[in-house]
Structure 1
């Protein structure tokens, strides 16, 4: 198993010869989706991944692992699958999803065969990974509330890492063209560690390739990220650009110059970033195992740290609301008023709500002539406060909210409409305000 597991998560791979080895309008989100820099559920409830990686393709009989990681507090499991190019093929996707749902876990599914493409001769391309997902589409469609598709694990090695950008763009476009509406996750090049900063410097192009605006970037942090300053600087770049990011894999400082896991955990918690630690069990070098021989009663040093330590899974994980019984009920309160100037109206409605929060939508409709831009305003009367918004630039001043069109949805022909959405906090009352619209 050492040969097989030498590639797992790039945990023990050589990195750079050192250490261990015009935007289209977005469609309405379905299920888990990106809102700004965060991941939210279909109801707008924020969801922060706190979980582990499970090497399912090599240990298909270890189905109890799903219940074991759940019992230790995880809310997410990233499941290793194979396309058949190198491992697998994994034809039990439906069963894996069933195990995730049975154990109230969000399921991140990844194709591992792409690991190190361009440098690893046996690796599959991202295009081949997409073909695998297309073949599994019957098991995936309708599971958007529960499943994230991580298109390919560490899809480019250190050879010609620049090819990552176009390959990832093409993969996203092919997924969408084939009808997938899931939240997509894309790993960086350089065996996931992006030490040449190809993902960091080309993230905007990749995110813009998704017509549904529903892709999250994933960084894998091992020996490249062995200092607090390096970790903080990398995360700062994404935060400054408002790019959604998760830490899809990371290990621990078991030796000098290894990953600074303490900084990763504290920074992830402070920034609200999801993380998925590598890995539950089964590594040929068990230094990265969390459970000895898949036994949750025999947690290793790493397992104890990630589950029970400060900023660890037990202390910070919150179960997805799709499982926890806090799914909001929809309301249909709608208020429509003419705008302050000629040309548009605004219809405000609450689409979902839950204790302490809700999701809203505003439909902007042009009047009898075309408009080039719009501004919608309203004033909350019950102490509500907007927390996230999409398809509009939203600002607040006290209880007054102002929403201006994005660059791609300001121009409307006569009588046509566009929508923008938001999530907000609320108190006991959640009255629908009167929204007004002005056009230019």
Structure 2
């Protein structure tokens, strides 16, 4: 049974701050260092991770292209899965050196982790943190001298839900051995309980682990899946580390999980507000029933999943918040001047499902590289298109519907302008939505209730930007909650409307959403669907 926690009022002991001995000044640091609960580059520039995880050890042939793709989408960091050889094929020193070299070539900070420790004490075959340290010492030649580019994550999710009482002692021993072996890297420490720390073991012992490091150069990593399904839980957990001056990152998270539905919107918003790093799981290649955690479908950066579009292009996502490390000549300590605000867009060529937007160009000291068009609804923005020039045609709109659009400019250093003025557009009457197919399935059913999963595929040649999907139940089923889309139901007629991060469906692409409903007697599957008023194929 999944363990959970509630927000409690007890504060971390006030004396914790006295344990946090100041980190070395930038001029004395070999590479990354920690001070006052923040991560800094050796030159003193603060660095906030914005990136993804990549399963290198299982997909070594994919790594070269994967790193290029995640960089092109805006990431500044990649967390790389390695194996010590205890559960999977060992990544030797030569292979790790090549990974580090590719990270550097793509101007990505590299967080390296040993995955064989996952779920130790509960997962058959998992190994101890001590075995992970043996591995790090064995490939030390690939890591020495890379302290400005590499963080060392001792072991992934090093304990399951059993045996985690030794988490603090085992991490202290592991850090001591790494320092004694000459490692000067920033060390990352994962939480127990499959990374989610529902027992508060990492939260309540982090200060002591940090203080035990002679270099005072440790970052803590929490993995946020089903345990973190409310804003209160997320804010409480991260807030305690911030208040205590302890460095924390969200080392893994997703928009859904088999153990519950994490509140990814709060994770994105809170980490941005508090200057906390995050690394989304994972680029591609997931299996075992969690394929929905792939950010890119079949490794294709042009076919991001709903989760991928949310992570890269959504509010507080990677594209909007990532800054390249200064060691590569950009980001926080380099050019920080944003482009001027682009002109308010004007609309032309309005049809039932598309509009062309044009605007006056921005200026910038290092050059404007592109523009992002967003659809504005109240305080919410969702991606509508991008262009290297000063116009774009937005397609996939609904007929006889009002939209509001605005534009941002981006420069070569990754800075983003303020938002332009907005333009309101009402599409013409007529058909809309384009060609589509819908796959509806009952993913699970119990007495009186069921879970439904729906996949919409764009079988047309133009992107769908914003959608509503309609169907009618034959047996009086009632939807009670949903994710990936919002619902409205009148009698047996259901309307599902995209969430901001599922709004865009590229040609040949798809989005998925799910819901919980009730049934009585019969739970037959709908046989007809319309998307933005157009009839979709079924199956």
Q: Same fold (TM over 0.5)?
A: yes
| Structure 2 contact 226–257 (Cα < 8 Å) conserved | no
What SS class does the counterpart of residue 236 from structure 1 fall into? helix
In the other structure, the counterpart of 1:16 is 3
Q: Deviations over 1:70-120 (max 9, x none)?
A: 000000000000000111201110000011001000000000000011111
Is residue 152 from structure 1 mapped to residue 184 from structure 2 by the alignment? no
TM-score (norm 1): 0.69
Is residue 225 from structure 1 mapped to residue 212 from structure 2 by the alignment? no
CA–CA distance in structure 2, aligned partners of residues 195 and 17 of structure 1? 6
Counterpart among 252, 255, 260 of residue 252 in structure 1: 255
In the other structure, the counterpart of 2:115 is 112
Alignment of 1:71-220 (within 5 A): 71-91=72-92, 92-220=95-223
CA–CA distance in structure 2, aligned partners of residues 327 and 120 of structure 1? 41
RMSD: 2.1
| Structure 1 contact 29–181 (Cα < 8 Å) conserved | no
- Alpha-carbon distance, 1:240 to partner: 1.4
CA–CA distance in structure 2, aligned partners of residues 88 and 194 of structure 1? 28
| Structure 2 contact 52–77 (Cα < 8 Å) conserved | yes
CA–CA distance in structure 2, aligned partners of residues 25 and 277 of structure 1? 30
Structure 2 stretches lacking a partner, 5+ long? 6-17, 337-539
Kindly name which structure, 1 or 2, has the bigger radius of gyration based on alpha carbons. 2
- Alpha-carbon distance, 1:33 to partner: 1.1
CA–CA distance in structure 2, aligned partners of residues 266 and 119 of structure 1? 33
Distance 1:304 1:181, change over 3 A: same
Is residue 42 from structure 1 mapped to residue 47 from structure 2 by the alignment? no
Distance 1:323 1:148, change over 3 A: same
Equivalenced residues, count: 315
CA–CA distance in structure 2, aligned partners of residues 326 and 267 of structure 1? 21
Higher RCO (CA < 8 A, seq sep 6+): 1
In the other structure, the counterpart of 2:53 is 53
- Alpha-carbon distance, 1:162 to partner: 1.2
Distance 1:168 1:51, change over 3 A: same
Alignment of 1:379-394 (within 5 A): none
CA–CA distance in structure 2, aligned partners of residues 255 and 112 of structure 1? 20
Counterpart among 312, 318, 329 of residue 313 in structure 1: 318
CA–CA distance in structure 2, aligned partners of residues 45 and 290 of structure 1? 29
CA–CA distance in structure 1, aligned partners of residues 299 and 135 of structure 2? 28
Alignment of 1:332-371 (within 5 A): none
- Alpha-carbon distance, 1:186 to partner: 0.3
| Structure 1 contact 115–154 (Cα < 8 Å) conserved | yes
Q: Deviations over 1:199-246 (max 9, x none)?
A: 000011100111001000000000000000111111111111111101
TM-score (norm 2): 0.56
What SS class does the counterpart of residue 61 from structure 1 fall into? helix
| Structure 1 contact 29–212 (Cα < 8 Å) conserved | no
Structure 1 stretches lacking a partner, 5+ long? 1-13, 329-353, 357-440
Q: Deviations over 1:377-406 (max 9, x none)?
A: xxxxxxxxxxxxxxxxxxxxxxxxxxxxxx
In the other structure, the counterpart of 1:402 is none
CA–CA distance in structure 2, aligned partners of residues 209 and 178 of structure 1? 16
